[in-house]
Amino acid sequence: MLNGNTKIIAHVGYPTTTFKSPMIYNPWFEKRGINAAVVPLGVRSEDFARAFPEICRFTNFHGALITMPHKIAVIGLIDEVSTAVKVAGSCNAVRRNAEGRLVGDMFDGEGFVRGMARHGRSLKGKKVLVVGSGGVGSAIAASSAAAGAAEIGLYDVSAAAMEALAPTEQNRRPHLAAPIVPMTAPPVASPDQARTWLDAERVVLVAVTAHAAAHGWPGHATRLAATLSRYLVTGGHNTDAVAIHTHALNAARRARDRGAEAAALIDLGEVRWRLGHSWQEAARYEQALLVLRETGDRTGEARAHGNLGLLAWRQGEYVQASGHYEQALAIFRDIGARAGEARALDNLGAICWRQGRYEEAAIYHRRALAVFRELGDRSGQSCALANLATVCRKQGLLEHAVHHLEQSLSLSREVGDQACEAEALCDLGEVRGQQRHYQQAADDYEQALTLFRRIGHQASQAQALNGMGNLMLATGQPGQARAQHGLALDLATRIGDKYQQGAAHDGLAHAHKAGRDLSRAHHHWRQALALYTDLDVPEASEVLRQLALLGEFDHGYPALASR
């Protein structure tokens, strides 16, 4: 019987219709007087990176059973893993220990081996063929090796997956047989083919990185992670990116390779920034920056400055952010890294328009765009065009903004850059809302939010929610507007994004004013004013004007003078 002392074990996967564990464990718990319950929770892949950490925060959460499609993705979201998880590269059980740390284990392979033994079949000295090299297949192969299999063959639908997986198994416990089908090179003659192949084999590559990191090939793990980094970022595969870069970081630390450790910290930090974990990263970047300087890794040093700039940007420290971007720009120019130079120029432009220096911002973004075009970097072009559109929007040039954003959207979709695609859609929603094309704006925001949630970009979600709130108010729905801005405020506060906090308070104030709740409107505008003034952004002047107007018709609140 459930009560306030019941320990909850979440059974997380999708779909839940096939779940059998609650029917197995709950009667067993009840029969033995154990006050625990397995509860099925349906979580889609695009929501898992955001939902699982929240589930683990419940005070009566005891652990979780993890099933498809999350067995590999969960590794990057927990604190410790067992040897079985390290070998298999997948995890199907998580327990919260006495210290509050999340510890993962994998039972699929051991369950298979014990099931065979129960039926009188020993794997010792046998040849074993495992068909399918995903999470379960990898676990079965690992447990078969531990059970003494003489030879293991791995067969996957793609010969390229076998080529990626097999090298990590060479010279280890059992001998790997040659592939059943002839080995052929993956079809990667064009960027589209390469992306298609990487998408199809990403699960295998995560498992390969995990195995290499855990079994004495730290160089393989760190190089594979670095090679995949850009693909993972532009594709929005943040959960897999966290897993791969965490494996690379652990491998570098075991090998005491400080340079590789610093590089892995930079890659991991960039992904965690996108997922909203910015407050935790600054000290790691500073540490990495020192190491990269010592080892003479100038590219890594410039990237560290870039990531420190991102953190300062989110926290509203624009002068500090600008300093880091300028140092990154100088290093990239010195070493002739043109793509890095363009990204630094683009980031400097974003600081300028956030502070109201629109002409200067446009110069930076046009320079970045020219370099990206020279290099044929379509993803970079997409981002620069979206930033240039923001400058146009803030200057009131809405048609120019739409033109730039439509180009940005087309480019981002061509190259599969989901982050830039979502940003372009979000910005289009804002522009079309200002043009009073409300249905188009709503569609843009909905698509943007769907993408942001799928890839886990929390700061951008806050921006889109604020935009939806403004749109709800413009269409006469103040209650819905308050709900959207409230969600944005919670999210922006959690990740430390002061600008979006200010925007949420401003939106809530307008929504409360529309509902004639002037007391709450005044409260939220005062909060917005404090944030915007601290950030030194032009939005503070408009909030002051609204407070002055509020004072004119509500004599309980005098108008405020500008600071």
Q: Which residues are catalytic, by number?
A: 71
Contact between residue 238 and residue 274 where contact means Cβ atoms under 8 Å apart: yes
The three-class DSSP label of residue 324 is helix
- Direct distance between the N- and C-terminal alpha carbons of the chain, in angstroms, rounded to an integer: 61
- Which residues lie below 8 Å from residue 373, measured CB to CB, with a gap of 6+? 381
CA 370 to chain centre: 29
Separation CA 116–CA 69 (nearest Å): 25
- Apex 84 CA angle, 81 and 88, nearest 5: 100
Contact between residue 408 and residue 422 where contact means Cβ atoms under 8 Å apart: no
Contact between residue 537 and residue 515 where contact means Cβ atoms under 8 Å apart: no
- Token code pair at residue 144: 């078969």
What's 273-300 look like in SS3? HHCCCHHHCHHHHHHHHHHHHHHCCHHH
- Which residues lie below 8 Å from residue 354, measured CB to CB, with a gap of 6+? 313, 318, 499, 537
Integer-rounded Cα radius of gyration of the chain: 26
Contact between residue 108 and residue 68 where contact means Cβ atoms under 8 Å apart: no
CA 110 to chain centre: 32
Q: Please choose, from the candidates 60, 64, 84, 2, the residue with its C-alpha nearest in 3D space to the C-alpha of residue 35.
A: 2
